[in-house]
Amino acid sequence: MRHSIELVGLISPYRTSEASAAPEPYDPGFVAEIARAYEAAGYDRVLVGQNAKSADSLVTATWVAAATTRLKLMVAHRPGFIAPTMAARAFATLDRFSGGRAGVHIITAFSDVETRCDGDYHTKDERYHRSSEYVRIMRRVWAGEAPCDHEGEWYRFENAGSEVLPASGSVPVFWAGTSELALRYGAELADVYAFGPGSVAQVAQQVDAVKARAALHGRNPRFSMSMRLVVAETDAAAWDRADGLLRAVEARQAAHGALGRDLGKAAEATAANAAAADDAAADPCLWTGLTRATQGRLQVMCLVGSPATLVQALLRYRAAGIDNFLCTGFDWLADTHIIGTQIGPELRRLGNGPA
């Protein structure tokens, strides 16, 4: 079965992007404004992200839900900091308040640097084992199992339950990761398996790997990919814009220090090396200049071109198995409008036809 296309945005609490001259202050009002802009432009869903220094994702998601009427949510959540029974009730509550729009994006975190900011010193493998148990528990609570008792490797409780259940009986689970354990558990658990940006060949290989494992469990998950779009009226103007973005990022780093998250030297080097090997030789629209310029601290891979060119570029990922496209630009409001109104409809029209 081929899934229909979803266009997904990213909630930003800042009016400017990485290419702005200086960091902007946190702006709660803009969270609601950009959420409404995504909805008006025809986006289907938004990611509410989370890292070790960000605002709380569940609280932010509640604000987004209140500001919109149909926009679905993909709420990043890190297992291990609150009990899975509590998380299940929180997401069930969000789902009911929002009219069935909640989704949880399980973030196991590939960087020990980030998890240690919140006092989690478990290894990545340990975190994946914990995430697997966590998701299974949440689904039992969402299913209304009562009494719900559990004694596992990571959690133990008695007589758990919830007086509020999801509107449709469960909450969609998004999952990410390319490690062996990520693939093993994601194939069993993910409703949507989310990948970071990459070339079409890379993404196709990742999709095939998950599909093969999921088929062993009789499952057919959706697949998501994130990609930044540098869009302008013509291809030439879009590449000019990309050059301007690169100069702006370099200038900001010179004035304010390194951009992006501290992932540890090994993770940064891996991201930078992967970006260096992946440019236009793989796809004439693909651009990794910002990832290289920040030594992997900003994992910003882009497709560059006019709306028509970008539709064709995204259709190549559709052919590779992607149906959830997390696509954002660099001028939040203007690019959201262009992507949602000039790229999204044509991508759906051409991409939702017969496989």
CATH of domain 6-228+300-351: 3.20.20.30
- Report the C-alpha gap between 86 and 89 in whole angstroms: 5
pLDDT in tens, 151-197: 999 999 999 999 999 999 999 999 999 999 999 999 999 999 999 99
Instruction: Let me know the angle formed at the C-alpha of 262 by 76 and 286, rounded to the nearest 5 degrees.
Output: 75
What tokens were used for 255?
A: 């004035």
What tokens were used for 201?
A: 């060949």
pLDDT in tens, 51-68: 888 899 999 999 999 999
Q: At what angle do helices 57-67 and 28-41 cross, to 10 degrees?
A: 50
The residues, ordered by sequence, that sit 6+ positions from 265 with a Cβ below 8 Å of its Cβ are none
pLDDT in tens, 69-107: 999 999 999 999 999 999 999 999 999 999 999 999 999
Domain ranges of the chain: 6-228+300-351
pLDDT in tens, 20-43: 777 788 999 999 999 999 999 999
Is 60 exceeded by the pLDDT of residue 269?
no
**Angstrom distances, CA of residue 244 to CA of 285, 295, 338:** 16, 18, 19
The 3-state secondary structure of 241-265 reads HHHHHHHHHHHHHHHHCCCCCCCCH
Report which of residues 228 and 278 the model is more confident about.
228
Task: Say whether 17 sits in a helix, a strand or coil.
Answer: coil
- What pLDDT is attached to residue 77? 97
Is 50 exceeded by the pLDDT of residue 206?
yes
- Report the C-alpha gap between 31 and 26 in whole angstroms: 9
